[in-house]
């Protein structure tokens, strides 16, 4: 196997394991994907029925434009393929696509006009970088629903899906995971603050814009450090992820 592809597999497997550590796993109903060539419809995807916490690099599927595993003939689930294939096709810059039902971010999607508010430093990482799909149409059994969802994302890195969950994208596995981790952290802080039954204290727009520029939208160096730390942890505690 090509060494670059194997490293991609290890990165993605590590991210599955990492997401499981902070409750990003919801049964076997969420999927992560990674485009591995210039063809937007050739990407790694977890097989249907895989717990995030048991992900292994070699067991991730490599699917083609029809959603067929090119190695073992396994199934990723039609809803997963309908969403991920459309996001990759419509947003070729979104090399890595992470879709989860993680609890705190999903809780915000259940609120009337639920939004991630600029009330914490963590939330400011996503200031003006979140799209919201307020129309829930059931499961994505039709590619047209996947296309509708993908187009709602626009040019943002995060999409909140009403009653459903979130999609996070990035130009690399590291950046997508960094977004996912801090998105759930920001959502958790907001839900905890809202439970105090007092108004949120918002950060003024001018300070929010300044903070975004300090963070930087494309944080590959910081994100890579985060993913490398996760892989070191897994190398010690669950080295089989890389097999």
**Plot region of 32 (φ>0 → left; ψ -120 to 50 → alpha; else → beta):** beta
- Cα within 13 Å of Cα(86), Cβ side: 23
Range of the domain at 145: 3-238
What CATH number is given to the structural domain containing 127?
3.40.225.10
Between 63 and 151, name the one with better pLDDT.
Answer: 151
Give CA–CA dist 46/30, Å, rounded. Answer: 9
Specify if 97 maps to a domain.
yes
Render pLDDT for 96-139 as a digit per residue (tens, 0 to 9): 999 999 999 999 999 999 999 999 999 999 999 999 999 999 98
What pLDDT, on the 0 to 100 scale, is given for residue 104?
Answer: 97
Residue position matching structure tokens 């187009």: 151
Task: Tell me: pLDDT of 76 over 80.
Answer: no
Give CA–CA dist 47/28, Å, rounded. Answer: 9
Mean pLDDT, the chain, integer: 92
What pLDDT, on the 0 to 100 scale, is given for residue 185?
Answer: 97
Task: Tell me: pLDDT of 43 over 80.
Answer: yes
Between 37 and 184, name the one with better pLDDT.
Answer: 184
Task: Tell me: pLDDT of 74 over 80.
Answer: no
Cα 131 to Cα 6, 52, 148, distances in angstroms: 32, 26, 13
Specify if 33 maps to a domain.
yes
Specify if 243 maps to a domain.
no
What pLDDT, on the 0 to 100 scale, is given for residue 72?
Answer: 65
Q: How confident is the model at residue 142 (pLDDT cuts 50, 70, 90)?
A: confident
Render pLDDT for 168-218 as a digit per residue (tens, 0 to 9): 999 999 999 999 999 999 999 999 999 999 999 999 999 999 999 998 766
The count of structural domains within the chain is 1
């Amino acid at each position: 196997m090509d060494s670059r592809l194997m490293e991609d597999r290890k990165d993605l497997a590590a991210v599955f394991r990492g997401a499981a550590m902070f409750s990003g796993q919801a049964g076997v109903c969420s999927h992560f994907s990674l485009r591995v060539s210039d063809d937007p419809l050739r990407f790694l995807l977890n097989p249907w029925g895989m717990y995030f916490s048991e992900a292994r690099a070699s067991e991730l599927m490599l699917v083609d434009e029809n959603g067929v595993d090119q190695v073992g003939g396994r199934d990723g689930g039609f809803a997963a393929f309908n969403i991920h294939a459309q996001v990759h096709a419509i947003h070729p810059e979104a090399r890595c696509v992470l879709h989860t039902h993680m609890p705190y971010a999903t809780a915000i999607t259940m609120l009337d006009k639920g939004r991630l508010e600029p009330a914490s430093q963590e939330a400011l990482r996503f200031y003006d970088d979140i799209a919201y799909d307020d129309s829930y149409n059931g499961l994505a059994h039709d590619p047209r629903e996947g296309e509708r969802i993908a187009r709602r994302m626009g040019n943002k890195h995060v999409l909140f899906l009403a009653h459903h969950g979130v999609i996070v994208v990035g130009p690399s596995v590291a950046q997508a995971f960094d977004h996912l981790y801090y998105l759930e952290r920001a959502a958790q802080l907001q839900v905890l603050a809202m439970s105090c039954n007092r108004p949120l204290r918002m950060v003024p727009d001018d300070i929010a814009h300044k903070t975004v520029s300090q963070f930087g939208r494309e944080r590959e160096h910081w994100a890579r450090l985060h993913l490398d730390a996760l892989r070191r942890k897994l190398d010690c505690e669950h080295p089989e992820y890389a097999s």
